[in-house]
Structure 1
Amino acid sequence: MTTTKNNNNIVTIDSSESIPEKPVKKFRWRVVDDTSPKEIYNMVLYTSALVFGILGAARGMDEGTVSGNLYQQSFRNLFGLNDPNKDEHQIADLKSNIAAMVQLGSVGGSILAMYTVDKLGRVRALQEVCVLWIVGAVIQITSRSIGQLYAGRLLEGFAIGQTTTIGPTYMSEVAPPAYRGLFGCLFSGAVYFGIFVSYATNYATAKHISGTSHSQWMIPISLKIIMAGLVLIGTFFSNESPRWLLKVGQNDRALKNLCKLRQLPPDHPYIVGEINDINEQVLVEKEALNGYTWYHKFKDILTVKSIRYRFFMIGAMSQLLGQWSGANAITIYAADLFSFAGITGVEVMKMTVILGVVKFCSAYFSAFFIIDFMGRRKALYIGIIIQMLAILFFGIFLQIVPHATIKGSILSPSERAASRAAMAALYISGIGWTMGFNSVQYLLGSEIFPLKLRSFGQSLIMVLHFANQYGNSKAVPKMLLTLSKYGAFYFFVGVCAMALFWSWFFIPEISGRSLESMEEVFNLPWYLVGRRGAVMCPDHSEINKVTHGEISSIHYNEDGFDKNKATGEHIEDASNRRNSDDEKDAKYR
């Protein structure tokens, strides 16, 4: 036996055994949770996540459906879009009113969600939304006047506005920390599942149903009823959020639901740690919630430094920059944009289907392989760069080949090749959007706020989301006329350039952190939050101190020596982890 002195500690090593090399962290294309019990990833969790995740399709189905409806001849004839007595500005106004009516209703729905999500709970609020969604779709299907169509779309908007608070809030609360980004992106990815289904249905009805039949536009809308019914049925197999149950004082039910979602017994260290984390925050906030009215919530958003930063610099700016970056315009007015690239007839609808497929696949690829592996911050600014360059190319094409937008024009071989590249640019911009803004616009708002403001803050951010989307949907037809078609896309490029700086300077990396550990990051000086927050404020939550699994390999301390040769099911090394974190904190003081 030989001994080696290291930092005043005597470590005994068997000289007959070679000291193994430090394990090297292998590159992985996905996050792998090696420290949590494998039981927490189970069918009960997946079922609840599927029900609340597919809820994102509500917004996507509307955007995809209205995009096709505005191009369908039967719809245009019935609601005056082919009226020869209207000039191009009147047609643009009518088109924007039809497209934007759901966004206007969604503003009201987001405000309503401030009450329903906390008052009714996540599951009951979702059931109420499904009923509104079905009623709104029925009103639209039976419409034979523009006023009734507006009413149905407005009511549907009240449902969709609530989904963007209910879904992300629930997903962030039940997801294990290592995969919270993936779970949140299931919701945002479902938006493009809805868009793809709607685009495909519009293409099928345009190709196989006569332009004189109302079924051409009614069938795509009827899919909303089917989707809402399936989600409503699924709610009866979902488990209410344990965090919400603890917040409203249903402690026994909260523990029971958490055990169901994690498939672990109540005395398991993981359950104990997670319940302690939630309970600690709930107890602290309950003291502060005495007399905590909406006035006080608004006041905190305006006056509390850390909350003000979260709301304005992250939540509000993500909606402002994201909605004016051009992605929403491409989704809703996709048929018009493909016609600008020289595509005509039913082939336009075919191109929108391909766009739906690209965005759908890209959204879920980002969810499974990018958002948690690369982190929110890096995924965001890489996505913005891709989106910006693609939109810039499309704008340049419209400027160099302006006659491509004129119906019946003939393109030269080189112009036709440029036209195909311009269409590809629209697809590529969708990849950038789903990788960047689409992944974070729902996810960040549901993660960054403290429990007492989580659903309220997310709802308020969604008010801004739909207000900006309404303004964008209303403005784009006019922008294409007044700024010229290429000028509108140059405007979107400018917004993307501003967003690139914003994502680098203001967005902190919060991948893998527990929801209860966010406060330390946002209490830093504002100029350090985005660039240094994650490094300066490690996650000290209880759940991050618990590791699980049979320890078959050597566990090294910072000097490279084995610190624990014991094998066991549950190992907690809180003191060593805390000491290491304290040293990191001291480094940045």
Structure 2
Amino acid sequence: MFNYRLYMTAATACIGGLLFGYDTGFIGSAVQIESFQRDFGMNASNMANVKGNIVATLQAGCFFGTIFMAFFTARYGRRWGMAIASLVFNIGAVLQVVTTHDLNVLYVGRAISGLGVGAASMLTPTYLSEVAPRRIRGKLGTAYGFSIFFGIMVSYWIDYGCERGLSAAGHDQWRVPMGLQLVPGALLFIGAVFIKESPRWLIKSGNREKALNNLCYIRMAHPEDPELQQEYQDICFSIDEELRVSQGATISEMFLPQNRVRVLIGFTLMVFQQFSGTNALTYYAPLLFEKIGLNGTSSSLFATGVYGIVKTVFSMAFLLLLAERAGRRLPLFVGAISMSTAMVIIGIVLACKPPLPNASSPSSASIGMIVMVYVFCVSYSMSWGPVPFTYVSEIYPNRIREYCVAMGIATQWAFNYCISRIVPLAMQNIGWRTFLMFGIFNAAIAVFVFFVIRETSGVALEHMDNLFSTGFFMKPSQWNLRKPVLIGNGDVIDIPGLELDVKNVQGAHLEDIESQSNSGSSSKK
């Protein structure tokens, strides 16, 4: 089941994450480059507003691109959605490259590229969750987060290299990193041509024969393989049952009693991802490094590049070592506490020991704050960076997954937009209190995780209904930070490996479930 076709399919889809990461990463450093500020008429009076607009127009496009793609992909599939997303993105990228002095053209180009980025950010985690075997769904979902961080890191170092190596007299310092957006855009289009359509989408669309063929291709298994047949039958059963319960409705199913709890949890999770403060650092890392004591554009861009490396390395470590072992709840809970601590320390040190404006080198207090920025970075990269995208792509019913994921990702972009507008003004007006604010948000996030977020690692997509049957808040018996606990007929079921073998937990008796779990374990031996 785990083979090169599966991993190549996942890697191709993850180009959407590379697109996302590069486009959101490079602009925050590009606007700090002197030639960019000169070419677009930026000065002390309009600096904060123009930076906010350039960053925020992308998010506005992403929000609408996510919503549009939910309806497009429900009708035409995941592959064509990726192809359209890449084409739209590249149109916007070309507009950004050809303009040299007109901010309005730049804004339009950013907004159009945002449509493509938003569409890709909704499609990639959806597609990965649908093609991934349940035992490594967390790893493949984390791979999407890694691809975002990798794109951000590459963009930071390209900005740094162009600022140091190209002449400030022309336009190349910012045009080169802006033009390189076209590379992941083109790669995503080429990849979309060759990957297989999602078997779950094909079954939902009534094309079950092709769905079975695609599943066989991706799994490199024979159609009669027992494990493949079990997976195929589970998907078909789940979709048929969802159709029976919903009586043919689609998007309105989001608001049925059995679904709206998950919709609300997904919404809240993506809001809190933005309130963690990560995009304050992603978009404005050079500005923030200058604020805490790194003077000079080159120094702040270099520190930003190191920030990108740290993010990428630790997200890779999480992907390889902890994605399935740690699950979802534990990384989110520990990550929120760690991020809160780092942000509060930065705020307190910045208030008590602010850096001197003309210091030749960073003070010990500034070095301490920089270390805390990297602590935040490590914590986020192994928790709130990759996990929310995996979580919102796996908890919803098959029939409405694209609509629910789109709502969650659109929420992320909407609050991303708000944060990108607020941060430069907050740094200018309330200074150190900005970090304290994010520290308080992260403490609240930890409480939310403990009482609301269920462990989904290893649970089949078709069994999520049972996991969320207790309402918005979990029962005390579900507070375990590691194992998934399924609720069936009022009984708490906590049997390792259960979720891999039970087809319909909600209607099963505990003795039957134990018997199935034991027989499944024996057969595997």
Which residue number in structure 2 is paired with residue 273 of structure 1?
230
Q: CA deviation at 1:389?
A: 1.5
Corresponding residue SS for 1:518: helix
Which residue number in structure 2 is paired with residue 324 of structure 1?
275
**How far apart, in 2, do the equivalents of 1:169 and 1:530 lie?**
31
2:204 maps to which of 244, 247, 253: 247
Alignment of 1:85-484 (within 5 A): 87=45, 90-144=46-100, 145-288=102-245, 291-292=248-249, 294=251, 296-297=252-253, 300-301=254-255, 304-312=256-264, 314-345=265-296, 346-404=298-356, 406=357, 408-409=358-359, 416-483=363-430
Q: What amino acid sits opposite 1:322 in the alignment?
A: Q
TM-score using structure 1 length: 0.81
Q: CA deviation at 1:417?
A: 2.0
8 Å Cα contact 1:247-1:282 kept in structure 2 = yes
**How far apart, in 2, do the equivalents of 1:575 and 1:399 lie?**
58
Q: After superposition, give the CA deviation of every residue in 1:555-575 in whole Å (9 maximum; x if it has no partner).
A: xxxxxxxxxxxxxxxxxx987
Q: Which has the larger radius of gyration?
A: 1
**How far apart, in 2, do the equivalents of 1:58 and 1:452 lie?**
27
TM-score using structure 2 length: 0.91
**How far apart, in 1, do the equivalents of 2:60 and 2:323 lie?**
30
Q: What amino acid sits opposite 1:143 in the alignment?
A: T
1:516 maps to which of 456, 462, 474: 462
**How far apart, in 2, do the equivalents of 1:293 and 1:357 lie?**
42
Runs of at least 5 residues in structure 1 that lack an aligned partner in the other structure: 1-39, 547-572, 582-589
Q: CA deviation at 1:54?
A: 2.7
**How far apart, in 1, do the equivalents of 2:291 and 2:429 lie?**
16
8 Å Cα contact 1:96-1:474 kept in structure 2 = yes
**How far apart, in 1, do the equivalents of 2:485 and 2:3 lie?**
32
Q: After superposition, give the CA deviation of every residue in 1:188-243 in whole Å (9 maximum; x if it has no partner).
A: 11111110110010000000112222110011111211111122212233111110
8 Å Cα contact 1:362-1:435 kept in structure 2 = yes
1:65 maps to which of 4, 16, 26: 26
**Aligned-pair identity (%):** 30
Q: CA deviation at 1:526?
A: 3.8
**How far apart, in 1, do the equivalents of 2:12 and 2:475 lie?**
34
Corresponding residue SS for 1:194: helix
Q: CA deviation at 1:579?
A: 7.6
**How far apart, in 1, do the equivalents of 2:316 and 2:15 lie?**
12
8 Å Cα contact 1:64-1:332 kept in structure 2 = yes
Change (3 A) 1:373 1:441: same
8 Å Cα contact 1:61-1:195 kept in structure 2 = yes
**How far apart, in 2, do the equivalents of 1:288 and 1:125 lie?**
28
What CA RMSD, in Å, does the superposition of the two structures yield over aligned residues?
Answer: 2.2
Q: CA deviation at 1:531?
A: 5.6
8 Å Cα contact 1:514-1:541 kept in structure 2 = no
Change (3 A) 1:525 1:202: closer
Which residue number in structure 2 is paired with residue 587 of structure 1?
none
8 Å Cα contact 1:102-1:154 kept in structure 2 = yes
**How far apart, in 2, do the equivalents of 1:278 and 1:529 lie?**
28
Change (3 A) 1:105 1:251: same
Corresponding residue SS for 1:278: helix
Change (3 A) 1:505 1:277: same
Q: CA deviation at 1:395?
A: 1.3
8 Å Cα contact 1:196-1:353 kept in structure 2 = yes
Total equivalences in the alignment: 499
8 Å Cα contact 1:448-1:515 kept in structure 2 = yes
Runs of at least 5 residues in structure 2 that lack an aligned partner in the other structure: 488-492, 504-511, 521-525
Which residue number in structure 1 is paired with residue 506 of structure 2?
none
8 Å Cα contact 1:53-1:183 kept in structure 2 = no
Corresponding residue SS for 2:432: helix
Q: CA deviation at 1:289?
A: 5.6
